Structure 1
Amino acid sequence: MGDRSSRTAFGLNRRNLFHATAAAGIAVGIGACSDLEEGPDGTAAGTDELADLLPTYTPYEGGIEPDLPGQPDGTVTPGYLSRPAEPVQVITEAPMTTGEDITAITPLWNPTPPGLADNSYFQAVNEILGGTVEFNIADGNTYGDKITTILASGDVPDMFQIPGWEIIKLADFTEAANELFADLSPFLAGDKAADYPLLASYPTAAWAMGVFGGKLLGIPWERAPYTNAMFARQDILDELSVEHPTNLEELLAIAEEINDPSKNRWAFASIDQTIQEAMGVPTLWRNDDGKLVHKFETEEFAAAVEFTRQVFDKGLVHPDYVADRLTNAKEIIGSGQAVFYEDGLGAWHEMFATYRNVDGFDLQVMNPMAAEPGGTPTIWRDDPAGMFTFIKKDLSEERIKECLRVANWCSTPFGTVEADLVSDGVEGVHFTIDDEGVPQRTELGQTEVAPTYMFLSGRSNANNKFQYPGMVEALHAWETNAAPFLDDSPFQGLRVEMPSDLSAENEPMTEAHHEIYRGQREVADWTTLVDDWRTKVGDSAREYYTKVAEDNDRL
């Protein structure tokens, strides 16, 4: 697409590089040509094919035993009901040795803390690291714009955290990443990762997600395989004597019962993915008798669009979300203006932390719902890694190793001194341990400590938010219940990079069905939209994915 002769020295037209994230680009994308041969074709490989690029998996032996066991396949996260009385120090040597600062860009969905000069938390961690990490902290709600600007400029920091959900919006990310970020295989492949034992403890499948364009570029943050869940303001449901729904019929009936705009209360702060999963919409592709069918093409997706439109038409959705699908649904739920909303599982404890001072606030996760009584839901299967830390390409070998040592230090698991420092700061200064063994932030800690160093790497999954009574047990039970419903994707275990033109069409299609929800298009328009999508990109994408599936014995 576009004038390919206007590419820069980096091999692409940076002004148009990430058009999928801009409103103008979205408008063009839905109506313009989208021949897959116009852009990068994407790649696909199993973890065995990538073995020469990836670290040799070596479980970390210094951790504490969980109270609630996890599953080896990652579908159930190990649960910890308390903090160890004596956390273990894992790394005794300072990882920063060159005397140079490390610059880093990370997202933040909380208030921005004071800068380095006025922040004793940053100063304390940097002292342990043996050098200074200079953070450029960006608003997580608009982080995609920040990523677009930085990548388009080519002026990237030493370490750059980029979430996978932003990467999939960027049509030519792989090409840009290979131009701007260091190949980590020379430092981590095989037994070389022994120098970074915490990084070596990440699952091979998670590391495979860090491969872009045939090179290992991203340090992965391992995640559980669940994309989202529906949550409920339990205190409001209890007040109204309402039980959790078990299917969409009950959900709609309950939503109509509790919805009361005259009391500034709506049923939903956000809604649509839960409905799609309940209807049985696949994560992306489904194998129907040897033929791949995209989720947009399924009868279940069309049914979900129609059902969601009904929810909107009935006035059951908070007007802020009706006006803008990117509105902050958390604030609507936290203020009690809505009862149900959908979010990632990690948002559960974050909501309790944010609204801990709201009288009676109680948010609980809801079990997966089917469309009808006795039906079976589909739980979308998330990728093994969700966020990635990239290291600048033109750094010296020693500087890249230094960044990897910092990433390794930031990867220390629950139950270690280092993890305490990253999460809560210095004991006695930024947090204290209460009578229940729970870390409690001091007033200074609440002001200064923010998720920053944690975004310089990843960490093995741990269900350990025991400071919220019952949460560890409830999350463990939810994952145990949800695991059998995980989507049986034909591409499970494969590292498939989506062809760039298909990636560019995802956002316009998402925008289109959200316009249907809000009455800006008719429900009947969905059929035409899907037909157009097939012509522009869908059928070519199916051909590409079919070959991937056949080459890997998935069809």
Structure 2
Amino acid sequence: MSKKRMITMMMAALLSVSLAACGQSSPGPKSAEQPQEGGKAPTEGEAKQIYTVTAIDYRYGDPPPSSSSGLTMINERFNVKYEPTFVPNTAFDEKINATFASGKIPDMIGLMTADVKNRYNKFAKQGAFLDIEPYIQEYPTLKLVPDFIWDAVRVDGKIYAIPQYAPKYQVVTVIRKDWLDKLGLEVPTNYEQLKEVAIAFTNNDPDGNGKKDTYGLAIGQDINPNFNQGPYWDPDAWYHQDEAGNYIPGMIGNGRKEFITMLSELYKAGAMTKDYAILNWADTNKEFYSGKAGIFIGTPRGMSQEYMDGLLAIHPDAQFVSLGPFKDAYGNQGLTSGAGFNGITLLSAKLASEPEKLKRILTMIDFGRTFYPEDSRNESNADFDWWSGKIGVGYEMKDGVPVNKENFASDGLAPSTYFVDNTAWAPQDFDNDYSITYQTKQLSDLVESIEAMYKEIKLYANPITGLESATDNAKGAELKKYVMDEQVKMIAGTRPVSEWDQLVQEYLSKGGADIIAEYNAGITEKDPKALFK
């Protein structure tokens, strides 16, 4: 399968500081023989030389085959012998650790966003990777990356990573509108109203089948989704401040307390997923898409057509509405911005001594990141057609939209399957027009409404973006799990929410105070309101 850049992203650790990428348009991709912008054309010998290019990357699901038509197309187009190694995501940590330990670093390495603050920083400081900054202005898709994203991957002032595109969209709360209409309820604009809707969905037979077989919130383990309606309630946003004016993590803020209190009331009322604490993400989705729950999440990119088709087979008249941001206690209204990238591509430091091979690799990377406007995503655009494995082989056109063949990735039919970075860098997030990629009207309409909302609202830039805390690197994951586990107890009623202040002190005493101090030492903007863009 091709790499799926997940929207847990919803769980991205870094958040961006700008609403949109710079407004340059993306020129067409270059072939291996074309001169790079700002460079000179290769000599005949340089163009003919075949370079062996190695890579290691992760994949969700089965990796593509090591021999295929898609791989052959890459070798022929770029005049390389491309030897990528793809590892299932569940085994990637072990494999990449062994790779770094061996000292035999491939030419290209793909890492997850979660690696930015640990593995990437560690090995960049040891000189394992190439400094990318001198080449940024030579490649169109690299020039499109906003400065704040480059800054997020700097190590000791240098850039060793190429960020892989992700829109700044986060997930938003989605409600069954047909159920709201059936019960005569308005779209919620605060958590009290959301709670009332969830309880009504549980008790008032919104699907009209005469049975008590529906409920409110679909939620799973790790209290996911977090249903935040703005940074005030976002557990990952640093928005609240303590008495000294220091930003604190959202998971111990007043907004999180309000949300956990609501969940404890919904749990008691049977208006949220009963076994949420042990429910994995796939099964959490099923709670909503099987027609049981009426409140879940959506996002422009990455919605499941298959899941939606399953729900519509049960409830053909289902309709959906997304919630906009709620106004918080400070009078602010907006959503937390996503990081603007999801995953990074690294190049071996050894490539500095092979400039022509480096140019070939950067040309490949630039091609793989090229954005195609909607009217160019068809066989009339030779580059898009090639990238997608050729019309009739890797994809088909259905109602004017390119649809991948079921085996395009598993059989390696499309070159796109083999690129470490196979996500186009859109000039603006809304240029993606994700709504047109869905085949069901209800899903397309929902996504279109979310995209329209994002054009209008303000996004909050997390002030710790690009900063590092040694204590967070060492203890942060364990400490977050501790706080999360205690909040699960509060939801279930085995620990009272009235002990919230005590939980905050536990967080601070276990290392949280050091994390807060270390991050705040690097924050320059002390006014949260100024971080809404």
TM-score (norm 2): 0.71
Change (3 A) 1:320 1:504: farther
Q: Which residue of 2 aligns with 1:517?
A: 488
Change (3 A) 1:554 1:456: same
Return the letter of the residue paired with 2:370.
T
Query: Do the aligned partners of 1:174 and 1:213 also contact (CA within 8 Å) in 2?
Result: no
Q: Which residue of 2 aligns with 1:390?
A: 346
Q: Which residue of 2 aligns with 1:500?
A: 470
Query: Do the aligned partners of 1:182 and 1:217 also contact (CA within 8 Å) in 2?
Result: yes
Distance 1:405 1:182 in 2: 18
Query: Structure 1 residue 199: deviation in Å?
Result: 1.7
- Equivalent in 524, 529, 532 of residue 503 of structure 2: 529
Query: Structure 1 residue 344: deviation in Å?
Result: 5.5
Query: Structure 1 residue 447: deviation in Å?
Result: 4.8
- Equivalent in 234, 243, 247 of residue 293 of structure 1: 247
Query: Do the aligned partners of 1:231 and 1:366 also contact (CA within 8 Å) in 2?
Result: yes
Query: Structure 1 residue 144: deviation in Å?
Result: 5.7
Q: Which residue of 2 aligns with 1:538?
A: 512
Distance 2:70 2:110 in 1: 20
Q: Which residue of 1 aligns with 2:521?
A: 547
Return the letter of the residue paired with 2:425.
R
Q: Which residue of 2 aligns with 1:105?
A: 56
Query: Structure 1 residue 243: deviation in Å?
Result: 6.0
* Runs of at least 5 residues in structure 2 that lack an aligned partner in the other structure: 1-16, 35-46, 204-210, 439-443, 529-533
Distance 1:174 1:420 in 2: 35
**2:460 matches 1:487:** yes
Query: Structure 1 residue 412: deviation in Å?
Result: 0.9
Q: Which residue of 2 aligns with 1:116?
A: 66
- Equivalent in 346, 361, 364 of residue 403 of structure 1: 361
What is the correspondence of 1:419-438 to structure 2 with a 5 Å cutoff? Answer: 420-421=384-385, 424-434=388-398, 436-438=399-401
Q: Which residue of 2 aligns with 1:352?
A: 305
- Equivalent in 122, 132, 157 of residue 175 of structure 1: 122
**2:162 matches 1:219:** yes
What is the correspondence of 1:11-26 to structure 2 with a 5 Å cutoff? Answer: none
Distance 1:322 1:423 in 2: 42
Return the letter of the residue paired with 1:247.
N
> Which has the higher relative contact order, 1 or 2, with Cα contacts under 8 A spaced 6 or more apart?
1
Q: Which residue of 2 aligns with 1:340?
A: 295
Query: Do the aligned partners of 1:223 and 1:385 also contact (CA within 8 Å) in 2?
Result: yes
**2:106 matches 1:157:** yes
Change (3 A) 1:430 1:182: same
Q: Which residue of 2 aligns with 1:127?
A: 76
Give 3-state SS (helix, strand or coil) of 1:106's partner: strand
Distance 1:196 1:237 in 2: 50
Return the letter of the residue paired with 1:487.
Y
Change (3 A) 1:384 1:113: closer
Return the letter of the residue paired with 1:455.
D
Change (3 A) 1:153 1:298: farther
**2:196 matches 1:253:** yes
Distance 2:96 2:186 in 1: 42
Give 3-state SS (helix, strand or coil) of 1:445's partner: coil
Distance 1:269 1:298 in 2: 21
- Equivalent in 449, 455, 471 of residue 421 of structure 2: 455
Query: Structure 1 residue 196: deviation in Å?
Result: 1.9
Distance 2:189 2:499 in 1: 30
Query: Do the aligned partners of 1:309 and 1:517 also contact (CA within 8 Å) in 2?
Result: no
Distance 1:141 1:215 in 2: 30
Q: Which residue of 1 aligns with 2:131?
A: 184
* Runs of at least 5 residues in structure 1 that lack an aligned partner in the other structure: 1-45, 48-56, 64-88
Query: Do the aligned partners of 1:205 and 1:384 also contact (CA within 8 Å) in 2?
Result: no
Query: Do the aligned partners of 1:181 and 1:390 also contact (CA within 8 Å) in 2?
Result: no
Return the letter of the residue paired with 1:534.
L
Query: Structure 1 residue 182: deviation in Å?
Result: 1.7
**2:35 matches 1:93:** no
Q: Which residue of 1 aligns with 2:144?
A: 201
Query: Structure 1 residue 389: deviation in Å?
Result: 0.8
Query: Do the aligned partners of 1:160 and 1:391 also contact (CA within 8 Å) in 2?
Result: yes
Query: Structure 1 residue 368: deviation in Å?
Result: 2.7
Q: Which stretch of the first structure deviates more once superposed, 370-379 or 174-183? A: 370-379
TM-score (norm 1): 0.68
Distance 1:318 1:341 in 2: 11
- Equivalent in 226, 238, 241 of residue 284 of structure 1: 238
Between the two proteins, what is the percent identity of the paired residues? 18
Give 3-state SS (helix, strand or coil) of 2:367's partner: helix
What is the correspondence of 1:30-109 to structure 2 with a 5 Å cutoff? Answer: 60-61=24-25, 90-93=29-32, 99-109=50-60
Return the letter of the residue paired with 1:535.
S
Change (3 A) 1:525 1:123: farther
Query: Structure 1 residue 219: deviation in Å?
Result: 0.2
Query: Do the aligned partners of 2:232 and 2:255 also contact (CA within 8 Å) in 1?
Result: yes
Query: Do the aligned partners of 2:75 and 2:82 also contact (CA within 8 Å) in 1?
Result: yes
Query: Structure 1 residue 366: deviation in Å?
Result: 1.5
The alignment of Structure 1 onto Structure 2 pairs a total of residues equal to 459
Distance 2:519 2:199 in 1: 42
Give 3-state SS (helix, strand or coil) of 1:274's partner: coil
Q: Which residue of 2 aligns with 1:54?
A: none
Change (3 A) 1:97 1:164: farther
Cα root mean square deviation, aligned: 4.2
- Equivalent in 356, 366, 373 of residue 322 of structure 2: 366
